[in-house]
Amino acid sequence: MVSDYKELNEKVNIAIAEFGKENKVITKGFMQMHQTMDSDEALSPKVKELIALAIGVADRCEGCIAYHTKRAFDCGASRAELIEAVGVSVFMGGGPALVYASMALQAINDFDKS
């Protein structure tokens, strides 16, 4: 279990940048796809980040939890919205998702500025 999700988020961003230097094609393609998260089309960026957080919990990805918790807050999501999104992932992912929901709660606490 991660002890500091802010620190993990920084490490993940650094590691992705390093990978990008080694494999520019894959990283560039992924980053182009990632930019759609910031577009406000049928779903707002905030809703997209809440969905990404829920998937990160269900897929048991701590780096995803760190990144998408921060991004969801940055996009204006409230603590209650993050908690509810994580709850949906527990419903869909069962016991393993519940374990990662506790990790998401830690990430929410780490990034919550309220």
CA–CA dist 84, 63 (Å, integer) = 20
Four-CA torsion 57, 63, 16, 11, nearest 10 degrees: 170
Q: What is the pLDDT of residues 34-74, one digit of tens each?
A: 888 888 899 999 999 999 999 999 999 999 999 999 999 99
C-beta separation of 75 from 110 below 8 A:
no
The answer to whether residue 114 scores a pLDDT higher than 80 is: no
| Sign of CA pseudo-dihedral 100, 61, 92, 96 | negative
Query: Residue 18 is part of a domain; what is its CATH number?
Result: 1.20.1290.10
Model-level pTM?
0.90
Total domains, the chain: 1
Structural domain of 43: 5-111
CA–CA dist 35, 10 (Å, integer) = 19
